[in-house]
Amino acid sequence: MGTGKRGLLAAAVTVVCAVTVLGAPGTAFASPSPTPSPTASSTTPPLPSTASNKDLEAVRTKLEALYHDAAVATDAYNAAEEAAKKQSAEIVELAKKIVAGQEKLDDLKDRAGAAARAQYRTGGLPDEAQLMLTDDPSEFLDGAGRVLQGQRATKGLIGELTRTQQDLEQYSKDASTQWQKLEAGRKTKAAAQKKIEKQIAAAEKLESQLEKKEKERLEQLEAQVALEAQTAWLDTGVLDEINSAASVQGKKAVQFATAQIGKPYVWGAEGPDSFDCSGLTSEAWKSAGQAIPRTSQEQWKQLPHIAVEDMRPGDLIIYFDDASHVALYVGDGSIIHAPRPGRTVTLAGAGTMPILGVVRPDA
């Protein structure tokens, strides 16, 4: 984009940060940053310096910690959910193999039984003994060939029976292992869910204790903190370096994310009516034809890392030292993300949270 357009959109994002509640992690997780420039800070009137404001800052900090812990637990929940899907699919495939193997084993046993019954009908003598009792040379030669064929067939049948039994035993062991993993994953998911619900309930209880005017002032404080963080990030001149155009897939991912603006955050959600942070980014890239990991932590671990100054629209920005939040970069210093419970998918400044790094799904 041109310099003029870049400046206008960057300014627009700054104004959004100043006059709206961008949501956590965008605001609830952001740490106070250096004082913004006079131009930026004039957008939001300063809050009165009173004891109650200090109390509100303590509330904001507490909410930040609660929602951050909920975000970490959500990542653990999502990871356990993905593992459960994979393990369940593997168990289904193993079950199919066990059924097929059992059918094969039954068939082999029937064939072995038929061979035994045939031997019984010939007087119980093996083919070799019957061969030695014949006086006809031509019959002897024909019989010799049949004996060799029979020996090979019997040996092959026994070998196949043995291999099939071994396969069935291994399939059973593998299925048992997957069941154990599935059960462990269920416990992990249940523990994560319990923690999520506990942290969110504590945050909601804390917010419910505020009067209407206090809530409004808390929102103003959150917006001011977000503005300070975004302004400090922009003041580094980072946008002067970021000028790469989006890829075809990146444009599709941005279009998907943009269409979700206004939908509520729900932990563990992957759409279409609600999302959590990594649910939004993974679905955005899925819509662009690129499968990526479900969780923000795995997106950080598995996807190629890109320098911040080289990022382009569609790239994912990973936030916080524990990679507990992710957003889709849409250009000109802004992101689209699903912030936290109680908020909706929204446009925010890319610098409103501490950036861990950037990853590119279609590198």
Ordered alpha helix ranges (H), 46-136: 51-121, 127-132
H/E element, 268: none
CA neighbor of 189 nearest in space, from 266, 265, 75, 87: 75
Question: What is the C-alpha to C-alpha distance for residues 311 and 238, in angstroms, rounded to an integer?
Answer: 11
Helix, coil or strand: residue 319:
strand
CA neighbor of 54 nearest in space, from 30, 34, 32, 21: 32
275, 269 Cβ separation under 8 angstroms = yes
Ordered alpha helix ranges (H), 209-276: 212-234, 238-241, 248-259
Q: Which residues are catalytic?
A: 277, 325, 337
Question: What is the C-alpha to C-alpha distance for residues 296 and 311, in angstroms, rounded to an integer?
Answer: 17
Question: What is the C-alpha to C-alpha distance for residues 120 and 215, in angstroms, rounded to an integer?
Answer: 92
355-359 β-sheet, strand order: 305-306, 355-359, 316-319, 325-331, 334-337, 346-349
For CA atoms 340, 343, 344, 345, the dihedral sign is negative
Query: Can you state the percent helix, strand and coil of the chain, rounding each to 5?
Result: 65, 10, 30
233, 244 Cβ separation under 8 angstroms = no
| C-alpha count within 13 angstroms, C-beta hemisphere, residue 175 | 15
321, 239 Cβ separation under 8 angstroms = no
Question: What is the C-alpha to C-alpha distance for residues 251 and 22, in angstroms, rounded to an integer?
Answer: 23
